[in-house]
Structure 1
Amino acid sequence: MNYDDVQACAGFIRERFTGEMPKLAMVLGSGLNSLADALEDATVFSYADLPGFPKPTVEGHAGRMLIGKLGDKPVICMQGRAHAYEGHPAEKLGYATRVLWALGVETLVLTNAAGSLREEAGPGSLMAITDHINFSGVNPLVGPNDDRIGPRFPDVSEAWNKALTKKLLACANALGIPLHSGVYLMAKGPNFETPAEIRAFKVWGADAVGMSTVPECLVARHCGMKVVGISSITNLAAGMQGELTHHETMEYGAIAAVNLEKLLRAFVADVL
């Protein structure tokens, strides 16, 4: 990843946004765009206009960066992300995250739509991510390392910040919102997983499965950012229900988004 390109993109944004640059950013997954639309006094950038940004091609991923306020707290919302299954090279999956780092973001909230491997965490529910398994074969840190960004061999023993996850669980409890917690597994996709794969993932200790998020977490930790994550459960995984569709992902993502928006508002108010 070219350091100068990242800094140039951050400079492009700073030239066009003159307000207080937020220290917290959120990446919104499939069906979770409503929170960004709730930002006040937002400055909007299309990914198409941001130098070097990969362009998302998936329904439910608007492809916009919004800088504004949630309540009275400054935040950046990323509406949509790039996925490996779209054909983007691995290093591009972390480009937006590095731009956020260059802008001064210190805390990254990652959300996604995921399939549940646990019957009790059904469609429409939420899960705090406590750890992950990278089954995708994709790692954006592969290649020459730039020490100005981060170390060659970053430690990810606490990829998902425990203190922030504890705050997230406390906010959910105060709001009366059920919030499961567990391990997220990333598969490359774009096909949904087979029942045999799901059975294997359960043995490995996975609680939810999706096709994103891990590259952003790895890059954020490489940059020294704190990461916290929530999976919006849209379906039970293959072999646990009927046929899986992207339409279902969008439908149940919208249901979960109601509680997710309330939770993220409370979390932002608590940590900023």
Structure 2
Amino acid sequence: MWEKVQETVSYITEKTGFTPRYGVILGSGLGSFTEDIEIEHTLPYSEIPNFPTSTVEGHKGALIFGKIGGNNVVAMQGRFHYYEGYSMTEVTFPVRVMKFLGVEKLIVSNASGGVNPFYKVGDIVYIYDHINLMPEHPLRGKNDERFGPRFVNMGEPYSRKMIAKAKEIAVNMGVDVKDGIYLGLQGPTFETLSEYRMVKVLGADCVGMSTVPEVIVARHMNMEVFGISVITDIGSEDAIEEISHDEVLLAAQSAEPKVRGIIKELIIKY
């Protein structure tokens, strides 16, 4: 994998001559964040060597390079999921590439289902921890020390300093945000009521089908991570019949202006 990552990094560097310090992974319904970037280069995934291509509606499929408040940023407009049939190596490959392009801080966003009784649809959650119930681990196999250590300390998967700064930003913006633990499942089915109850019993506040593998790999390479989630459905008997991908996209898009504002200010001020 080392050779593939370096080949991809070389291609992107030759095409853009750009060194990003912040990386952003945009989840379902949050792709319009790129409107906040002073775009300098756009590379479709289909043109990038060794890159997968996203197959999910709401994930457009391009790397966007540019500036936010004078800070160099690369944004993934669309991510890859294990349920699409990709290996965990492929799902997390862009994070490896971001690191060797120069990214030090990674911001990940997603849409998730809420099981915390104090959550409602449209709530914004700062992820402070996660539970990994994916059926495959992105670090399984022989470890390459050039990426990171064999055994990764996951005591602080999401940066406490970034969360603290993001909370200040939310207060200044007048935006109500929640804290939460995110549980990662394979998908692509939405959870049954029994599975939602399981998520709650295990101590999580929300559940989704992404993010966890990317965060693990980012921490493997000592990147600082901030995670933000939009609650797009509630795992209860009253609400579960309404869940569809279209509903998820609509709920994420309704919260998008606030999420965009938080991420933009975090990049500028942290």
TM-score range, shorter chain: over 0.9
Are 1:104 and 2:102 an aligned pair? Answer: yes
1:36-185 correspondence to structure 2 within 5 Å: 36-185=34-183
TM-score for both structures, normalised by structure 2: 0.97
Are 1:231 and 2:215 an aligned pair? Answer: no
Instruction: Number of aligned residue pairs: give it.
Output: 269
Query: How many angstroms apart in 2 are the aligned matches of 1:239 and 1:74?
Result: 45
- 1:240 deviates by 4.9
Query: How many angstroms apart in 2 are the aligned matches of 1:194 and 1:122?
Result: 18
| AA aligned opposite 1:259 | K
1:181-196 correspondence to structure 2 within 5 Å: 181-196=179-194
Q: In the alignment, which residue of structure 1 is the partner of 2:14?
A: 15
**1:114–1:231 CA contact under 8 A, matched in 2:** yes
Query: How many angstroms apart in 1 are the aligned matches of 2:238 and 2:6?
Result: 46
* Bigger mean CA offset, 197-206 vs 113-122: 113-122
- 1:238 deviates by 4.9
Q: In the alignment, which residue of structure 1 is the partner of 2:262?
A: 263
**1:91–1:139 CA contact under 8 A, matched in 2:** no
Consecutive unaligned residues of structure 2, counting only runs of 5 or more, are none
**1:92–1:140 CA contact under 8 A, matched in 2:** no
**1:182–1:206 CA contact under 8 A, matched in 2:** yes
Residues 208-228 of structure 1 deviation map (CA, whole Å, 9 limit, x = unaligned): 110000000000000111111
Question: SS where residue 240 of structure 2 aligns?
Answer: coil
Question: SS where residue 91 of structure 1 aligns?
Answer: helix
From the superposition, tell whether residues 169 and 89 of structure 1 become closer, same or farther in structure 2 (CA, over 3 Å). Answer: same
Query: How many angstroms apart in 2 are the aligned matches of 1:240 and 1:148?
Result: 50
- 1:28 deviates by 0.3
Question: SS where residue 39 of structure 2 aligns?
Answer: strand
**1:60–1:250 CA contact under 8 A, matched in 2:** yes
Residues 151-209 of structure 1 deviation map (CA, whole Å, 9 limit, x = unaligned): 11111111111111111111111111111011000110000111111111111110011
Query: How many angstroms apart in 1 are the aligned matches of 2:183 and 2:145?
Result: 28
- 1:71 deviates by 3.3
1:202-241 correspondence to structure 2 within 5 Å: 202-241=200-239
Are 1:4 and 2:15 an aligned pair? Answer: no
- 1:135 deviates by 1.2
| AA aligned opposite 1:260 | V
**1:192–1:238 CA contact under 8 A, matched in 2:** no
* Bigger mean CA offset, 36-45 vs 227-236: 36-45
Are 1:249 and 2:245 an aligned pair? Answer: no
Query: How many angstroms apart in 2 are the aligned matches of 1:65 and 1:240?
Result: 39
Query: How many angstroms apart in 2 are the aligned matches of 1:86 and 1:74?
Result: 30
Identity within the alignment, %: 38
Query: How many angstroms apart in 2 are the aligned matches of 1:50 and 1:207?
Result: 36
Q: What stretches of structure 1 move > 6 A for 4+ residues in a row? A: none
Aligned-CA RMSD value: 1.1
Query: How many angstroms apart in 2 are the aligned matches of 1:237 and 1:12?
Result: 44
- 1:72 deviates by 2.8
